[in-house]
Structure 1
């Protein structure tokens, strides 16, 4: 029991792309954590006391360290364990990998939000918003035409960091996406969505505030 109580805690939101990629990295690291699912309309006081900004994910380590940004959570998890070498420890591609992630976190994410809003509110500029996203999607299609994953023929941090945002992109105009000229991207995304890993990461749990029971989560 004490060993379980000494595990890191992660506050998470099931469908949030940032929380999703944090859970994926934790799954890949095989680092066990205590999962506390929430909804943003009812945030636990315990989370707000350590992270007043009120966004997820938030990790609280047994030593009291607070990790509030999803990418930092991913790096933390993979430094605990990286059995699949997602960080490409013995490779010289780390800089280009980090640059790709940064581009999608900063530039693509803004375009994606505009695209989602255009669809939600039936705005007339939806094609323009989609085309803004496609400038980045084309780059991924090019990379995936060269190898099975974004950086090589094996999985990397870039794949799992960008995955949740491409999942969102594919859902905005589903029929358009299914016929868009991005076959390699569709194969890559479907491989993840149909995986045991994704099923585990997306399992629906009771909200923590309903019973305050932690969920043991690990890969």
Structure 2
């Protein structure tokens, strides 16, 4: 009898879940993919991670990883064929800027009605400071921290995608040629197509399914 695989609770359109799935795919880790609905979270997921956000990775020994970056680092520590963990410290600094300031402005731009008094245009302009920095970086080399894709590219791309799709016409009209090319490259990649494959919503009675190989 084969050993069970780690269980990944995910939601297809969540950028945090996207970055986790990208790293799992890049590492070749096999997981049991459980697609959920955020409005109807399964009890098994909430028992594992009461905070109720995705992604959640439940390892074979019962350990629970409930932060997307922790899942990325766990997967790549097991196998990192493309050397995404090179320039790790530089990547982590840039990811911290994305996950704190940029993400805060992104939320108040995209979901302004959820925040009392939020001015979406003001938050869009504030978020642009980070995007301008990314465009500058990409104007001098092909990826965010150098010539090759590293952890920062994989972790930040889903959030730039979310920002761009909030108003794609406006985004496309900005003079960020390097950022546009970088984003389009990731959007058009085979890896992104693979991790965006649609899965049926998981239910306990349908749990006897084959594992998904993300590699």
Structure-1-length-normalised TM-score: 0.91
Which structure 2 residues correspond to residues 112-191 of structure 1 after superposition, within 5 A?
Answer: 112-118=106-112, 125-191=119-185
In 1, Cα distance between equivalents of 2:118 and 2:18: 31
Task: Please state if 1:99 is matched with 2:93.
Answer: yes
| 1:108-167, Cα deviation, whole Å (9 max, x unpaired) | 00000011124899x993332211010100110011001111011111000010011000
Aligned to 2:59: 61
1:205 partner SS = coil
In 2, Cα distance between equivalents of 1:75 and 1:161: 11
Which structure 2 residues correspond to residues 71-110 of structure 1 after superposition, within 5 A?
Answer: 71-88=69-86, 93-110=87-104
State the Cα distance separating 1:46 from its structure 2 match.
Answer: 1.2
In 2, Cα distance between equivalents of 1:152 and 1:43: 39
Task: Please state if 1:12 is matched with 2:10.
Answer: yes
Aligned to 2:207: 212
Aligned to 2:43: 45
Aligned to 1:192: 186
Instruction: Tell me if structure 1 keeps the 8 A contact 2:88–2:151.
Output: no
Aligned structure 1 segments of 4 or more residues deviating by more than 3 angstroms? 118-121, 123-126
In 1, Cα distance between equivalents of 2:74 and 2:42: 23
In 2, Cα distance between equivalents of 1:66 and 1:94: 23
Change (3 A) 1:205 1:155: same
2:73 partner SS = helix
Instruction: Tell me if structure 2 keeps the 8 A contact 1:50–1:66.
Output: yes
Unaligned runs of 5+ in 1: none
In 1, Cα distance between equivalents of 2:148 and 2:8: 28
State the Cα distance separating 1:24 from its structure 2 match.
Answer: 0.4
Instruction: Tell me if structure 1 keeps the 8 A contact 2:9–2:34.
Output: yes
